[in-house]
Structures are given as C-alpha cells and as structure tokens.
Amino acid sequence: MTVYIEKPAINLREKLAELDKPTGIAGEAMLRAETPQEQFNLIGAGRRNLIINGDCNISQRGDFTTASSSTDEKYYLDRFQQNHNITANKQHITSNQPSALSNTKSWRLTATATTNGFMGTRQTIEDYKLFDGREFTASVWVKTNHPSVRFYLYNGSNTDQGKKTAIADGEWHYLQETFTFDATAGTKFSIEVMILSEAGGNTSITSGDYVEFTGLQVELGKVATPFEHRSYGEELALCQRYYYRIDGRSGYSILPTFGAYSADAAAGAILFPVELRDRPTSLEQSGTAGDYFLTDSSGSAQACTSVPTFGGSTHKKGASVIMTSTGNVSAGNASIPTMGANGYLAWSAEL
C-alpha cells in the first residue's frame, strides 16, 4: 500500500528570520559590524584603549591623595592635564571606585569658591591627524554633584563633539559617546571631563561642587567595550614616554656615577627607561640644594651648594645633569651623586 504525506509549503527566508538567536549584546554588535576591521576592534584584538592611564593608577609626580590646590594647565596624575579658570583642589582617590572596575583609582577636582567658571581634566592623544575621519567611541565612569558635568571631544578649535551630561547625584554613572573625529578643523585630539555650560563656557559653580572620573577609554568603532586593563608595568612604560621621574632615597645612590670637571661640579648622563616622545629642554628638581649630594675624594657625601641643572646635552633616550658642591670634588675624579628623600630629577615631553 502506498502512503502519501502532504505538508504545506513554507517560506524558508521567513523561518530563518524567526529563529531565536542567542547572540546577546556582544553577538549583535558583531553582526552589525560593517567591516572585518570593526569586528577586529570589537573582539579586542590588539590594544584598544587610546587613553593612557585611564584607570588613574600612575602618579609619578607625587602623592596627591590629600586634597591640595590645583593649578590650571598643570599635570599631576600622569597624562592628565588640569583645565579650570576657578580655584579648585585636586585629589587622587584610592577607594570607592565603581564596582564594575577592579584595581582602579580615580581623580577628583573640587571647587573652592562660588563663582562662574569651568573646571575639569583632559587628556590629549598624540598624532591626532592619523585619526581624521575615523569613528570612535569614548566611555568613562563619572561621579559628581553638579548638574552640568559634560564628557566630550575637543579638537583645539572650539569644535566640541558629544557633550554627554552626567547625573548629579553623587553616584557613579557610566557615560559613552560615539563620534567622528575631524582633524582638518582642529589642532589636537583631547577628551575632557568638565563642569561647563552646554555652549562650552562658564557656568555657575558653588564651593564644594566636584567632578570625579575613572575608567576613561577611547577606541575605534561604534561600540563601547569593557575597560581594557593593562598591567601596572605596561601602563607605567606608556606614561614614561611623556614624563620620567627619579625620586630620591636618603643615603642611597640611584644615579650613575658622575665625573668631576672642576673642584666644584660634576656631570653625568641619565638614560631614560623609555624613549621620550621628544627631546626634553629642561630639568625638574625639588628647588632645594640640600636635597642633593656629591661624594668627595674620601667617599663622604657633601651637600650640593646649588640645585642640579640641565646639562644641555639632551636626547630622546637620555639627558645630562650637572651637580655643584663648591670645593668638595676634584677635577678628573669620579663622584657619586645621591638625593635625599625629598630630592628628585624629572624630564617632561608632554604634548
């Protein structure tokens, strides 16, 4: 006996469209990617974050965990520059960061006067012209008590993009913004977290208003991916391309042996652990001669009579330093330089 079975016709395309694909958010982002390069960026192949020290862990210039006065345009936390026209305190916060970010610190600016103005922090990215016309997504965690905290791109010519506004409830909030960078209209590529007006100018600020951030990330593509954690050593090396500092330690030599060229002074070359972005043109030091020492012919440390000076011979890979201790060294002899606990030597190649 022959049995015939009939089934109604189906539209295969419609059935495929109805499939419940367990792709999740990340899978959907991969499916929406328009190019292999965008998929490459999404899966995190290679380094993603263009921001250096986005987790706020590196602070070569000192310990800023106690609130103290901030100076406009100055660098404190590595790679981050202050940007304010009001009086404010800076502070490196080491606890109570977002639960989504482990092993991070944060940076806070707090207004110390009631006035109209702006206040915040920025990081400028090197070689900005390489990114002309490319699409980026920036993300950050922000905490504030001011209703006009904005997170945006600045290209150096008052062309602001993004201006995502934070919630002023004193809690951590995650902000993200996608934009296309236009290098032809500007002179830099900076990401800023600021208290300022929607138009980019002054706004009403009350003493005690603050803005705090961490987990700053800028990456190619349309999707904000989880914050890229790099090891402390790798992040430090990235920072040292722009700033390198040697701190003193009382009674110990952490500098190479110098050569005395007179009875008063000795010079030596300091090699940098990472090639600087550009040749440094000056030497930073504590400002106190007594923080520095040279050994005499008997090997005893003698206090310097003036602060160390920039030797003039400079390179991206190192620089010369001159130290003076009048009448305490002998021309042609070696002298071991040391620094007290408050002494330091530093070189900058910031943008």
Higher pLDDT among residues 265 and 6, named by residue: 265
Taking residues 18-31, what's their average pLDDT? 65
State yes or no: pLDDT of 41 exceeds 80. Answer: no
State residue 21's pLDDT score. Answer: 60
| Cβ contact 214:98 at 8 Å | yes
Mean pLDDT of 27-43: 67
pLDDT for position 179: 87
Q: For position 106, what pLDDT does the model report?
A: 98
Instruction: Round to whole Å and give the CA distance between 301 and 233.
Output: 33
What's the average model confidence in pLDDT over 46-65?
A: 95
Domain assignments of the chain as residue spans, ordered by start: 26-239, 243-348
Q: What is the mean pLDDT of residues 290-310?
A: 95
pLDDT tens for each residue of 121-131: 999 999 988 88
pLDDT value of residue 45 = 58
pLDDT at 19 > cutoff 70 = no
Determine the average pLDDT of the residues in 68-85.
98
Nearest Cα neighbor of 193 from 135, 137, 118, 92 is: 118
Contacts of residue 151, defined as CB under 8 A and 6 or more positions apart, other chains included, come to: 138, 140, 142, 162, 163, 164, 165, 166, 175, 177, 191, 192, 193, 194
- Region 309-318: mean pLDDT is 91
Q: Give me the pLDDT at residue 10, please.
A: 73
Q: 14: which residues sit within 8 A by CB, 6+ positions away? A: none
Name the architecture of domain 26-239.
Answer: Sandwich (2.60)
Cβ burial, residue 63 (10 Å; 0-12/13-18/19+): exposed
231 touches 265 (CB < 8 A) = no
For residue 13, the surrounding DSSP H or E stretch is: helix 12-18
Give the pLDDT of residue 345.
97
Asked if residue 26 lies in contact with residue 42, where contact means CB atoms within 8 angstroms, the answer is: yes
Cβ(218)–Cβ(57) below 8 Å:
no
8 Å CB contact between 107 and 116: no
Sheet holding 284-285, edge to edge: 243-247, 344-348, 284-285
| Residue with token string 């040279």 | 294
pLDDT over 60 at 44, yes or no: no
Q: What is the pLDDT of residues 147-204, one digit of tens each?
A: 999 988 888 876 666 778 899 999 999 999 998 888 887 788 999 999 999 888 899 9
Residue 66 has pLDDT above 60, yes or no: yes
Q: Residue 134 in contact with residue 181, Cβ under 8 Å? A: yes
Question: What's the pLDDT at 26?
Answer: 63
pLDDT of 74 above 60: yes
Q: What is the mean pLDDT of the chain?
A: 90
Looking at residue 37, its pLDDT comes to 64
Which of these, 341, 342, 344, 310, lies nearest to 324 by C-alpha position?
A: 310
pLDDT tens digits along 238-265: 999 999 999 998 767 789 999 999 999 9
Average pLDDT of span 221-239:
95
Residue 198: predicted pLDDT: 86
Cβ count near 131 (within 10 Å): 18
Tokens 């002054």 appear where? Answer: 202
**Strands, sheet with 190-195, edge to edge from the N-terminal-most edge strand:** 81-84, 119-124, 190-195, 149-154, 160-165
